A and B are shown apart, each in its own frame.
Chain A
Amino acid sequence: RKEVEQDPGPFNVPEGATVAFNCTYSNSASQSFFWYRQDCRKEPKLLMSVYSSGNEDGRFTAQLNRASQYISLLIRDSKLSDSATYLCVVRGTDKLIFGTGTRLQVFP
């Protein structure tokens, strides 16, 4: 079983749509959780950290369920510029473990 699992997509949604990505992780000792965004042929960039209480940053909302080892990302009012691959990332004691990513394509 992979340490971090995501639905690879692609998710094709119209502008303005709400889209949700899910992620599960296998190591219950994982300490920190993140969502990264990766554009084609570029390095990943931190989108937001994920906290147990849930957190929101503009149109983006992240949730963490430690009991279920489940992380989610909700994007509201999708923009064309949101088209990218979204990587679920889990941090253990020292290193980051990346999921395979979920590809999002927003169309006009």
Chain B
Amino acid sequence: GAVVSQHPSRVICKSGTSVKIECRSLDFQATTMFWYRQFPKQSLMLMATSNEGSKATYEQGVEKDKFLINHASLTLSTLTVTSAHPEDSSFYICSARGGEGNTIYFGEGSWLTVV
């Protein structure tokens, strides 16, 4: 079974609204979580790295005020896409590092469609 759970798996929202995606590590404490975005037929692109209790580190070109990341506990990180636009429609995937061997586990991903 999944050790990293992402929710929702699919979401449709109206342009201009905000949407929150949750990433939970189910049976381990994740000291670090990563958020990726994948456009069709493209690679996973790292958006940001978040460590519990501290501000996320964003990759170049990713707007931190648009993509709000909160890593409030060792088992939960959230990504909020604010003022969503149709071009934000994408597959968003989180991953969490922790557990034995400090392994990286991926969530099932969230499909965001902005209409």
Chain A residues engaging chain B, CB cutoff 8 angstroms? 4, 41-45, 87, 94-101
B window 9-49: CB within 8 A of A: 32, 34, 36, 42-46, 49
B104–A96 CB distance below 8 A: yes
Q: List 14 A-B contacts (CB under 8 A).
A: A41-B91, A42-B108, A44-B44, A45-B106, A87-B43, A87-B44, A94-B32, A94-B49, A95-B34, A96-B34, A97-B46, A98-B43, A100-B43, A101-B43
Chain B residues engaging chain A, CB cutoff 8 angstroms? 32, 34, 36, 42-46, 49, 91, 93, 95, 104, 106-109, 111
A-side contacts of B46, CB under 8 Å: 95-97
A44–B91 CB distance below 8 A: no
For the complex, give the distance between the alpha carbons of A44 and B46 in Å.
14
Provided the pairs A41-B111, A42-B108, A44-B106 are in contact, do residues A96 and B95 lie with their beta carbons within 8 angstroms? yes
B-side contacts of A94, CB under 8 Å: 32, 49
- In whole Å, how far is A85's beta carbon from the nearest beta carbon of chain B? 9
A-B contacts besides A96-B104, A98-B36, A98-B44, 16 pairs, CB < 8 Å: A4-B43, A41-B91, A42-B108, A42-B109, A43-B106, A43-B109, A44-B44, A44-B93, A44-B106, A87-B43, A94-B49, A96-B95, A97-B46, A98-B43, A98-B45, A101-B43
Top 8 nearest A-B pairs by Cβ distance? A100-B43, A98-B44, A43-B106, A43-B109, A98-B43, A43-B108, A43-B93, A95-B46
A-side contacts of B108, CB under 8 Å: 42-43
B-side contacts of A42, CB under 8 Å: 108-109
For the complex, give the distance between the alpha carbons of A94 and B109 in Å.
21
Chain A residue with the shortest CB-CB distance to B48: A95
For the complex, give the distance between the alpha carbons of A96 and B95 in Å.
10
B-side contacts of A87, CB under 8 Å: 43-44
For the complex, give the distance between the alpha carbons of A4 and B44 in Å.
11
A-side contacts of B109, CB under 8 Å: 42-43
Chain A residue with the shortest CB-CB distance to B97: A94
- In whole Å, how far is A97's beta carbon from the nearest beta carbon of chain B? 7
- In whole Å, how far is A36's beta carbon from the nearest beta carbon of chain B? 9
